[in-house]
Amino acid sequence: MNKGKTAVVTGAGGTLCGPIAIDLAKQGCKVVLIGRTQDKLMKTADEIHKIGADCLVITGDVKDEDRMKEIRSEINKKYGLCNILINGAGGNQSDAVTTVNEFDPSELLEGHSFRGFFDLDMNRFKDVIETNIMGTVIPTRVFAFDMIEAGGGSVVNFASMNTYRPLSRVPAYACAKAAVSNWTQWIAAYLAPAGIRVNAIAPGFFVNDRSRKMLMTPDGGLSPRGQHINYNTPMHRFGQPGELIGCLNWLIDDDKASFVTGITVPIDGGFLCSAGL
């Protein structure tokens, strides 16, 4: 049902959104890949070209509204109006991540060997919040103009397990992803009269380049944190990127999910339903 539609995917060079963009191309969508790094986007584009489909690769910062408007103009000239928006751009930064789970009095003394909350770089903390929140709000604000003109559309945002539980060590990312779910509800209600549905998916633990350092050892085994996560995930494994696609395709289906808006769907191997006891 999505054949011929224009689908914009931000963060399309990433581990999760790359496969999503490829699947949309397989469905016959005119896919637009947006991200900050050309090389990463081209890897996704190459896979799309292998299946005989076309796509548009455009670099830009999702926090820059003027750039997003320029990109919308480029898309309109080549593909027409945007019908589907996947807000996949986001992420975390190591300087906004603690290396301990709880406060230790030595954190207030000079010379300690760990990074606690009081050691975090507040500029990086702000960057994480802005990338995940404003990097979702701004593309929605820009591409909703197209959907209004088209008489409707679908937006899918990326939330997280941190939406439901403020996981240890990632305070900036946790509060940002909680905000994404709240924003999804607010904008879904606001845009409903325009025929635009807005939902979110909340991936559990999937390994990407950044999380691999926290979840795995150099030899491919599990770090203590990775072992703990697997123990508390009833399926006892990490998710695979393709396992997001079925839920996402349902959410963007204007027939099968026509009365669905404002929800956040966990895709987590059961993590949220288990207390680990």
User: What ranges do the domains of the chain cover?
Assistant: 6-94+129-204+239-265
Return d(Cα 85, Cα 164) in angstroms, integer: 23
200 contacts 263 by C-beta, under 8 angstroms: yes
Q: How many CB atoms lie within 10 A of CB 265?
A: 18
The catalytically annotated residue of 164, 173, 190, 231 is 173
Q: What letter does residue 117 receive in the DSSP assignment?
A: G
Q: What percent of the chain has pLDDT over 90?
A: 87
Alpha-carbon gap, residue 201 to 1, rounded angstroms:
20
Torsion sign across C-alpha atoms 133, 138, 143, 144: positive
Q: What is the DSSP letter of 262?
A: S
For residue 47, which amino acid is it? E
What percentage of the chain's residues is helix, strand, coil (to nearest 5)? 50, 15, 35
Residue 216: pLDDT band with limits 50, 70, 90: confident
Chain segment 96-133, per-residue pLDDT in tens: 999 999 999 999 999 999 999 999 999 999 999 999 99
pLDDT tier at 275, thresholds 50, 70, 90: confident
Among 28-32, 69-73, 83-87, 208-212, the minimum mean pLDDT is found in 208-212
Q: Which fold has domain 6-94+129-204+239-265?
A: Rossmann fold (3.40.50)
Dig out the tokens for 130 from the structure: 């802005």
Instruction: Report the pLDDT averaged over residues 211-221.
Output: 76
For the cut 90, the answer to whether the pLDDT of residue 183 exceeds it is yes
Alpha helix stretches (DSSP H) within the chain: 17-26, 38-50, 65-78, 122-129, 135-150, 171-191, 209-215, 224-231, 245-252
Catalytic site includes residue 190: no
Q: Over 90: is that where the pLDDT of 217 sits?
A: no
How much is the pLDDT for 172?
98
Range 128-146 average pLDDT: 98
- The predicted pLDDT at position 153 comes to 98
pLDDT at 242 over 70: yes
Model confidence over 161-179: pLDDT tens digits?
Answer: 999 989 999 999 999 999 9
Mean pLDDT, to the nearest integer, of 135-148?
98
Helix 38-50 to helix 17-26 angle (10° resolution) is 30
Q: How many CB atoms lie within 10 A of CB 58?
A: 18
DSSP string computed for 165-224: S--TT-HHHHHHHHHHHHHHHHHHHHHGGGTEEEEEEEE--B--HHHHHHHB-TTS-B-H
Give me the sheet containing 84-87, strands edge to edge. Answer: 55-59, 30-35, 6-10, 84-87, 153-158, 196-203, 264-267
225: confidence class by pLDDT, cuts 50, 70, 90: confident
Average pLDDT over the chain reads 95
Residue 210 confidence class, pLDDT cut points 50, 70, 90: low
Report the helix count and the strand count for the chain, using DSSP H and E. 9, 7
